[in-house]
Amino acid sequence: MSEWVMRWPQRNPRIFLGAAALFWFALYQALVPASEALVAALPVARDSHLGGALQFFFYDTPKVLLLLIGIVFVMGMLNSYFTPERTRALLAGRSEGTANVMAASLGVVTPFCSCSAVPLFIGFVQAGVPLGVTFSFLIAAPMVNEVALTLLFGMFGWRIALLYLALGLGVAIVAGWIIGRLKMEAYLEAWVRDMPRVQASADGVRLSLAERVDAGFASVREIVGKVWPYILAGIAIGAGIHGYVPEEFMASFMGKDVWWSVPLAVVVGIPMYTNAAGVIPIVQALLAKGAALGTVLAFMMSVIALSLPEMVILRKVLQLRLIATFIGVVAAGILIVGFVFNLML
């Protein structure tokens, strides 16, 4: 029986996908009553600080994990179409501008993160992809990915998720185009500049639906297996903020009326070692306590797009002047986003 269950996705992938979708939806619908029942079963008043924090944690943790598993599985199947070779082939030989838009868009749907920065960068250079186009991809890939969009959709709805998608793509496209206009190829490390050029190929093996289902499972194991500790930590911090931090305190340094809140958010965000899974639950709690949307978006984008670990990794292929330019251009774009939305909303 157990062997049949394990082989069911390979034998009947369409039936399996339909049944899995129904099971996922049923679990998602049960989250609110289940979280309230858990709090009610504890010797804690529901309207107390601790009761509010516990309900936040009991509801958000399974919700985020369910959303993440579902979206990552689907994206894992889609990502089986986008191998590194195919991605390089799509970008090679394109003119700047159009190529920046394509690169940023591919960054959203491809499964590459900051840990892939160096091999991807080398592959793009060898395929003749312009430097600015490469940066558009490297900015969009970690910042506007399935994890970030899934968590934003689950916590804030589709409007905020689409807003973040548009902002992230805009920053990636414009920043990459500016870096390309600065003509900074001389500030690549010498061994990268001197690599022989290779012809990018889009050839790949055509996979069956069952094999793409396997790719979806592999993506869940890889991504969710890595980020779940960040999710728990982020939701725990968010629950603490939700239950205990006064709204007046948060609004005093992250509200609309504090002009320096956006630059402070970017400066604080850059050295943080976390990712979308860890920072978005904190963002949710900050917004609930009166922080301005533009300030919180600036904080989130700087954490994800300008993380210190990615800068350390990129130092292997970029000289310090190019890294500093990259940080400066992206940070300027994030500042503009933060200020504009604080003024508009």
Q: For 4-13, 116-125, 317-326, which range has the lowest pLDDT when averaged over its residues?
A: 4-13
| Positive or negative torsion for Cα 263, 314, 86, 197 | positive
Answer yes or no: is 247 within a domain: yes
Q: Indicate the pLDDT class of residue 75, thresholds 50, 70 and 90.
A: low
Q: How far apart are CA 28 and CA 220, in angstroms?
A: 18
Q: How far apart are CA 178 and CA 301, in angstroms?
A: 19
Encode burial over 264-277: b for 16+ CB neighbours within 10 A, e otherwise.
ebbeebbebebbbb
**What local confidence, expressed as pLDDT, does residue 85 receive?**
63
Q: Tokens 């292929």 identify what position?
A: 317
Answer yes or no: is 272 within a domain: yes
Instruction: Count how many domains the chain has.
Output: 1
Answer yes or no: is 315 within a domain: yes
SS3 291: coil
Q: Where are the alpha helices (DSSP H) in 255-314?
A: 261-269, 276-288, 293-305, 308-314
Answer yes or no: is 200 within a domain: no
Q: Indicate the pLDDT class of residue 92, thresholds 50, 70 and 90.
A: low
Mean pLDDT on 100-126:
69
Instruction: Give the tokens for residue 198.
Output: 């290779």
The residue with greater pLDDT, 4 or 10, is 10
158 near 283, Cβ under 8 Å?
no
- Summarised one tens digit per residue, pLDDT across range 262-301 is 888 888 777 665 566 667 777 777 777 778 888 888 888 8
Q: For 19-33, 55-69, 85-99, which range has the lowest pLDDT when averaged over its residues?
A: 85-99
Mean pLDDT on 203-214:
72
**What local confidence, expressed as pLDDT, does residue 1 receive?**
41
Answer yes or no: is 99 within a domain: yes
- The alpha carbon of residue 183 and the mean position of all alpha carbons in its chain are separated, in whole angstroms, by 28
- Summarised one tens digit per residue, pLDDT across range 241-257 is 666 666 566 556 666 67
118 near 314, Cβ under 8 Å?
yes
Burial of residue 263, with CB atoms counted within 10 A of its CB: 0-12 exposed, 13-18 middle, 19 or more buried? middle
Answer yes or no: is 311 within a domain: yes
Answer yes or no: is 342 within a domain: yes
Instruction: Give the tokens for residue 26.
Output: 């049923």
The proportion of the chain whose per-residue pLDDT surpasses 70, expressed as a percent, equals 71
Given a cut of 50, whether residue 2 has pLDDT beyond it is no
Q: Which residue range forms the structural domain that includes residue 257?
A: 82-189+227-345
Answer yes or no: is 2 within a domain: no
Query: Cβ–Cβ contacts within 10 Å for residue 257, how many?
Result: 9
Given a cut of 50, whether residue 5 has pLDDT beyond it is no
Given a cut of 60, whether residue 159 has pLDDT beyond it is yes
**What local confidence, expressed as pLDDT, does residue 244 receive?**
67
Backbone angles phi, psi at 99, to 5 degrees: -65, -35
